[in-house]
Amino acid sequence: MTAHNKIRVRFAPSPTGYLHIGNARTAFFNWLFARQQNGQFILRIEDTDTKRSTKAFEQSLLEDLKWLGLDWDEGPDNKGHFGPYRQSERFDLYKDYADRLIAQGRAYPCYCTHERLEEVRQRQIKAGWPPKYDGRCRMLSKDDRPKHIKPVLRFQVSENAVVFEDKIHKKLSFDGAVFGDFIIVGSDDIATYNFAVVIDDALMGITNVIRGEDHLSNTPRQILIFKALGFPVPEYAHMSLIFGPDKTPLSKRHGAASINDLRESGFLPEAVVNHLCHLGFSPGKELLSIDETIQSFSLQRLSRSPAIFDIERLKTFNRAYIEKADTERLLNLVEPYCAEGVSREWLRIAVEAVKGEATNLKEIPDILLPFLKQPVLEKEAKQILDEPSAREILLILAEKIEREADLTADTYTRIITAIKQKTGASGRRLLMPIRVALTGKMKGLELEKVFVLLGKKEVVARAKKHLQGV
């Protein structure tokens, strides 16, 4: 079966762990390209590593992609006509094509032991040659084949150069003589990555392969298999790798290594997607809608320099997206982390008030904590309340508020003005004792919002508590 005559790209993760940020970027850029070109985005699961692949990791991959907003046109959830979309369900297909290569004389069984291969390798390294298979079993007759050894299957490489045009790296050339006859089927009858991926890409009609440059060395081998089987060769684009700010490969020490880490740390998917867009690509502005990202995306504009994942920049994006986010959506996300017994209506007002202050979703309940329980005074905050003017300010504050029917932004302005006129205090000297008495902290939410969130009764109670020296 052949695909339609349109752009078809794929993301093919292995379900051996959580979705890495680098793989998420690969998925996102493939998805962007497909959506921009009115093409199709295919999800394929490469689960031939039977020891490490699990259904749980496959499920988490699917959930993370959905969380990021990446939908697929064909995939393991029974969408599409070019399945199955799990490699573990395609073994018969690989065997058919392996048999074809044997019949053409392009593949042959190899009986060399690990010990012999290692011995050849060491000898080549010592002589200053690039290590490769020496072709010993190429011409082995059937009579000379050992009966007690289960062979691997090797692809026979001609010594010509493999030349292709990469959308990012431009024209590339690899010398076939350097990498030698490589294994396409293991002694366990499982197709190797380089073989399975070619059969899958060909039969699924993949037109463009967009992936990390760590796959560059695989590409010439794959092109040789495409050509040997008479399949059209897709266009390739190999993206730069992602490093942390210290120019080392991305890991947890840089703040996160997987999408799961970021989800659990309280990042919004739109902030993560926005940061992914800036990794190896310059869209021209800091914050983009998904439609703007699709319109601005270009393979030709992807950088060859390593992309830098910076958790601090992501926090900046996240803060901006939290502030812009719909309050009801944020309320649903943070409600499970808030104390029981808090009314949803109060929480809605509170989230609306504090959403411009939070770097991540987890911070919202922390910011709200001083409004839900009696604050604990920070050490420096206690010194503020010991200042002589603090008592007078809190006394007037309690008196003025008790006369008000309710607290609003307007009453806050009026009361602060009255205290200022009566005490002569202004700026930090006026506002800091009030902030400390009400929240226990020297920094935080605007006092106007603090008043409204606490309400008349609680503001008076907290001011009087400190007047009594408690």
Which position among 247, 252, 373, 379 bears the catalytic label?
A: 252
Which residue, 402, 431, 403, 407, is CA-closest to 417? 431
Q: Give me the residue label for tokens 């030698």.
A: 180
- pLDDT at position 470 is 46
Residue 469 — very low, low, confident or very high, per pLDDT cuts 50/70/90?
A: low
Which letter does DSSP use for residue 79 in this model? B
- pLDDT at position 101 is 98
20 residue type, one letter? H
Answer whether residue 160 is part of any domain.
Answer: yes
- φ and ψ of 209, to 5 deg: -110, 115
CATH, residue 231: 3.40.50.620
Tally of structural domains, the chain: 2
Rounded percentage of the chain residues whose pLDDT exceeds 70: 98
Which residue, 21, 45, 20, is CA-closest to 279? 21
Query: Chain centroid to CA 304: how far?
Result: 20
Check whether 378 has a pLDDT greater than 80. Answer: no
Helix (H), strand (E) at residue 337? none
127-147 pLDDT tens trace: 998 899 999 999 888 888 888
Q: How many separate helices (H) and strands (E) can be counted in the chain?
A: 19, 11
Answer whether residue 29 is part of any domain.
Answer: no
- pLDDT at position 1 is 40
Provide the whole-model pTM.
Answer: 0.89
Answer whether residue 449 is part of any domain.
Answer: yes
Mean pLDDT value of segment 145-166: 93
Task: Indicate if 252 belongs to the active site.
Answer: yes
CATH, residue 466: 1.10.10.350
- pLDDT at position 224 is 97
Check whether 4 has a pLDDT greater than 60. Answer: no
Check whether 369 has a pLDDT greater than 90. Answer: no
Answer whether residue 189 is part of any domain.
Answer: yes
76-92 pLDDT tens trace: 987 889 999 999 999 99
Q: Which of 239, 269, 295 is the last residue of a domain?
A: 239
Check whether 406 has a pLDDT greater than 90. Answer: no
Mean pLDDT value of segment 267-272: 97
Answer whether residue 45 is part of any domain.
Answer: no
What's the rounded Cα separation, in Å, for the pair 275 and 318? 9
Domain that holds residue 128: 91-239
First-to-final CA distance of the chain:
80
Answer whether residue 65 is part of any domain.
Answer: no
Answer whether residue 436 is part of any domain.
Answer: yes
Which residue, 180, 101, 90, is CA-closest to 136? 180
- pLDDT at position 326 is 95
Answer whether residue 318 is part of any domain.
Answer: no
Mean pLDDT value of segment 161-188: 93
- pLDDT at position 387 is 84
Check whether 55 has a pLDDT greater than 90. Answer: yes
Q: How many Cβ atoms sit within 10 Å of the Cβ of residue 123?
A: 12
Q: Which of 200, 218, 239 is the last residue of a domain?
A: 239
Q: Which of 182, 217, 239 is the last residue of a domain?
A: 239
